A and B are shown apart, each in its own frame.
Chain A
Amino acid sequence: MLAFILRRVMQSVVVLFVMSLIVFSMINLVGDPVDMLVNPESLPEEIDRVRRDFGLDQPAYVQYWKFLTGALAGDLGNSFIFGRPALALMVERFPATLELATSALIIAITVGLPLGIYAGLRPNGWGTRIIMGGSVLGISVPTFWLGLMMIIVFSVILGWLPVSGRGETAVFLGIESSLFTLDGLKHLILPATNLALFKIAMVIRLTRAGTEEVMAQDYIKFARAKGLSSKRIVRAHLLPNILIPIITVLGIEFGTLIAFATVTESIFAWPGLGKLVIDAIVNLDRPIVVAYLLFVVALFLVLNLVVDIIYAVLDPRVRLQGEGG
């Protein structure tokens, strides 16, 4: 196990390095950040001064070298706009996104798993047709449109929930989160549900496919021949088998929830990472964009590793490479 993890960490460092090279060269091809930073009517000398101050007058490879040495020391550069370290800005915003993504994931599992199992156990039932129809909608209707509709219906027309923003937060067990206040929860419901909708549909489809496949297996027939109740068969024989593929997919999907919550965060003005990076892209705030992309890559690397480890724990047939036996 340890050898496996070590090797994966080494691979991850290589991937991160290559990624930083790609991101850095690509972003140098896009626009001139100085245009965004100075008044268009400034004197040429003033523009040159700003360019020098940010080190943008240097050749790209010198800029990259500076970035790389800084990154190894944990410094991903200062934001052009905020004038503060990019990393610190991200760390500030991360809890809001994590909270949103985690809530969305929990909603997706608690809603999607039971519905998927139900649909898989009764492939021809009316309930199944409704569930599967709903899941087609969930997968095909764009998130941003649904988000806007939810705001119109639940906030504007019905007035039940706040329109946007993150509500009050409270500290509980050393974690600051809006999950611990009523106002925070109210603010969280719409964006989290919006972000979860696509995943709910995905979990339903995955679960249903898995359920149908597993229920046709001989070991389910043998379990029934042993006289087990349906409840026991679902809990002890169906669930552990369908959870293996579902966890694999959801582990990676959790990454996409965090990385691509941008749309939902923009619609609901949720002060998370996604909103930060969208603003940074608009303003050509290069350090933030680079830091964000590297963060996303690192996130996926870690999630992949975690999924592999969970996989090995859940499925006794899987032994991680580098582990004896």
Chain B
Amino acid sequence: MNQLKLLSIQGLRTEFPTPDGPLAAVSGVDLEVTRGDVLGIVGESGSGKTVLGLSIMGLVDRPGRVTAGRIAFGGTEITNYSEAQWQGLRGNRIAMIFQDPTTSLNPVQRIGVQMIEAIQAHRDVSTDAARQIVREAMVRVGINSPDERLEAYPHQFSGGMRQRVVIATALLNEPDLIIADEPTTALDVTVQAQILRDMRRLCRDTGMALIWVSHDLGVVAQIAHRVAVMYAGRIVEQGATEVMLKSPSHPYTAGLMASMPANAPRGQRLVSIPGGLPQLSNLPKGCSFAPRCAHATTACDVLPELSPTSPDHAVRCVSPLQERS
């Protein structure tokens, strides 16, 4: 496998103007994804993880926009791409899957039409040839009798089936990178497990990279090689999945893990992190997590850098937690 950096993000900042001044949904994010890599991005709602995904696709809703930083894809800087250039990239080299499969498909168009158009937007192929590619993609994600399914409308599918259609659509042009924004959150647990298994297999088989955005550390742990934890628009901890799960360094990551039902002792109340996500318009000076942090000191009034604690692990905290023994 080519270890070339597929996606490289530096100092990315995405802002939305508000009457009280610009609001940075994503701020100072550095990320790298190599080919075949599976990166998990974890954070609460409002932590900026979805906006980060949309920024990589050039799909941030106006009036929001990327105001600083660089995004390079396959060695080419794409930050200042024109809309036409973005169109050539989207769905072709980078594909995206959204959270809710019940709303990702147009209710009044046949599944086949919606999939074939994704191919014909990028390749000059006949409808028959495109139909053949669609059939193959459907079989790959476990949809039986694709010919029948092509003529169906979205409402004739279950939620899990619809998400498979969406995933198959994302796969059509064999992208180098798929950004999956909470693709299993709206599904029930058994379907979630199947889709996770299928996505892992697809990544292994095709060598494509995957960015899996989720609020659920448990789901991310099952699929990602590396995890980045986001809080209030910033990455607070980043590292190899096993390392991070074994010894979270940031108090927020530790809090997330402690609040996972699987980690709670039976018969006891679940642990929760006190307080809520701060208003982006009113972030505390220094570390955004400090007001909720049990370990906060006056040193936290200065924003710490994301600094490595070990070769495969970096944390944005002045007093990172010690490795558990």
A residues with CB within 8 A of B? 217-219, 221-230, 232, 236-237, 240-241, 244, 314-317
Contacts and interface: CB of A to CB of B under 8 A. Distances in A.
Contact of A225 (B96, B103, B122, B155): B96
Contacts of A217: 103
B7 interface: no
Contacts of B242: none
Contacts of A316: 107-108, 153, 155
B320 interface: no
Closest 6 CB pairs of A and B: A227-B91, A226-B91, A227-B90, A218-B103, A225-B96, A226-B118
Interface residues of B, number: 30
A221 B103 CA distance: 10
A225 B175 CA distance: 12
A56 to B, nearest CB: 56
Most buried by A among B59, B86, B108: B108
Interface string B111-150: 0010001100110000000000000000000000000000
A226 B90 contact: yes
A221 B121 contact: no
A67 B92 CA distance: 71
Contacts, number: 79
A218 B91 contact: no
Given A221-B98, A227-B89, A229-B121, A241 B153 contact: no
16 contacts: A219-B104, A219-B105, A221-B59, A222-B104, A222-B169, A225-B95, A225-B96, A226-B91, A226-B121, A227-B86, A228-B87, A228-B117, A229-B121, A236-B117, A240-B109, A314-B108
A317 B110 CA distance: 11
Given A227-B88, A244-B108, A218 B98 contact: yes
B108 A225 contact: no
A164 to B, nearest CB: 44
Given A232-B121, A236-B117, A316-B155, A225 B90 contact: yes
A232 B117 contact: yes
Contact of B59 (A225, A236, A237): A225
A228 B169 CA distance: 13
A225 B121 contact: no
Interface in B78-93: 83, 86-92
A219 B153 CA distance: 13
Nearest to B96: A225
B92 A222 contact: no
